[in-house]
Amino acid sequence: MKIYQAGPLFSKAEREWHKHFKAKLETSGYDSLWPGDLFAADEKVTARQIMEADRDALLSCDAVVALLDGPQVDDGTAWEIGYAYAKGLPIIGIRTDFRICSDSGDGKVNAMIQGSVIALCQSEGEVLDVLKTLQHNMIKKNHADITIKTEPQADAINTFKRTKNAAEGGDAKAQFNLAVMYAKGEGIQQDYSKAREWYEKAAEQGHSKAQFYLSVLCYQDSINDGGGYIKEAIEWGEKAAEQGDPEAQYNVGFMHCTGYGGDDTKGIAWCEKAANQGHVEAQYNLGYIYQKGYYGIPDETKADEWFAKAAEQGHPGAQFVLGLKEFQSGYYETAYKWFASAAEAEFVSAKIFLGFMYFEGLGVELNSAIAYNLWESSVKEGDYNLPADCYLQGNDYVFVHDLPFVRTLRHDCYSGMTYDE
């Protein structure tokens, strides 16, 4: 699957993002192309040549990922989106910018842009999730005969038959496990429609994992349909959440908070239920919600409480937040502890600040060699690599990026699933 990366490329930051995201796409198994690949940096070309090369490159791709950051969408990017939409190419938007630049009540960007994309993501991970779903749907649409080609083993076939008999007899646990078998192609030819059918049967009998997976499937459909299935996703998610599953509580909480027509108050309440059961992502995101004052008034005390709980469980984002707060207050030794823990988990912003502490000798013995090693590794590894790159170029500051609002909704229930033992 070949991806065209649309987006502005006039500043160093923009060009570095394209290079970084191209590498991430290729690591994930996609071919990727962005306008910077089309001409050498010093090549003299006319406006017409640029337009035609971009157009032809776009048409050679299967899908478009468009960077939509900024006070308004870049005009060249808007043209690429419009052209791709007219040609029937699926477009995925990514906007990490928290500013609203919409001309409609329910949008985040211009209505013509938001109405053209199949999903408006807020992180690179979310984009990769949507691409995986899109690729799967393309395979099903264009190659309906592509399934698991290996012949099922005898043991798997016998297990399938026993499970199917129990499922047809009304056993909810067997119905759920049968759905998993169809989804994985274990003991039977892989069949996602059959998997969904058996998930529904088990979910209707109150099986919590089936309800959760069905919620996930509806959310997946919602991504492809511009929010059309979000109501069903929330309904099934709440049924699972009411049975005490923290993963379901977290998922449905953020469906409410980030979906189409959800209830923010309910969303936060569900997230708090998950967080109180130790769900680390729920804890971290609640910290961020209260820190920024999303859906209400900022509450620093609650933010610190949830960040601390997530940090103690090893969440690198929460560790960085706590480290930054200690750093800004001049408590360098405590800051060092949190930055070092987050850096061990390859959290790039923590590496940058840790490097700064070594460079200046703040809370640690001055060591410029360690500082530069940390900065160099952050340039190679990170989503947010430009601050370190700027520092290495000799600028006398370290730039602090706003933390991403991490919404790690689980919306792929065909990989990593487990049976109900």
pLDDT, one tens digit for every residue, the chain (421 residues): 789 999 888 788 788 888 888 888 888 888 888 888 887 777 788 888 888 888 888 888 888 999 988 778 888 999 999 998 888 888 998 887 766 665 555 557 788 888 888 888 878 888 888 888 776 555 444 333 333 333 446 678 888 999 999 999 999 999 999 998 888 888 888 888 898 999 999 999 999 999 998 888 887 777 665 656 778 888 999 999 999 989 899 988 878 876 555 788 888 999 999 999 999 999 998 998 898 887 777 899 999 999 999 999 999 989 999 999 999 899 999 999 999 999 998 888 888 889 889 988 999 999 988 988 888 777 654 444 333 333 333 333 333 332 222 333 333 434 444 556 6
Cα distances (Å, whole numbers) of residue 419 to 147, 156, 164, 283: 21, 14, 14, 27
Where do the domains of the chain lie, and which CATH numbers do they carry?
A: 2-142 (3.40.50.450), 312-392 (1.25.40.10)
Q: Which amino acid is at 346?
A: E
Give the predicted TM-score (pTM) of the model. Answer: 0.56
Q: 46 near 35, Cβ under 8 Å?
A: no
Q: Which residues contact 20 (CB under 8 A, 6 or more apart)?
A: 382, 383, 385
In this structure, which long-range contacts are made by residues 373-378, counting pairs with CB atoms below 8 Å and at least 24 apart in sequence? 374/343, 375/351, 377/351, 378/348, 378/351, 378/352
Q: Which residues contact 167 (CB under 8 A, 6 or more apart)?
A: 174, 175, 177, 178, 198, 201
Q: Which amino acid is at 382?
A: G
pLDDT single digits (tens) 372-407: 888 877 765 444 433 333 333 333 333 333 222 233
pLDDT of residue 264: 84
Which residues face 97 on adjacent strands?
A: none
First to last CA, the chain: 36
Distance CA 253, CA 256 (A): 5
pLDDT of residue 78: 92
Distance CA 116, CA 238 (A): 30
pLDDT of residue 147: 34
pLDDT of residue 38: 84
pLDDT of residue 380: 54
Cα distances (Å, whole numbers) of residue 32 to 35, 76, 413, 415: 10, 19, 26, 24
pLDDT of residue 146: 30
In this structure, which long-range contacts are made by residues 107-111, counting pairs with CB atoms below 8 Å and at least 24 apart in sequence? 109/68, 109/72, 109/73, 110/72, 110/73, 110/78
pLDDT single digits (tens) 233-261: 889 999 999 999 898 999 888 788 765 55
> What is the dihedral sign for C-alpha 297, 301, 306, 308?
positive
What is the layout of strands, in order, in the sheet containing 31-33?
31-33, 2-6, 63-67, 91-94, 119-121
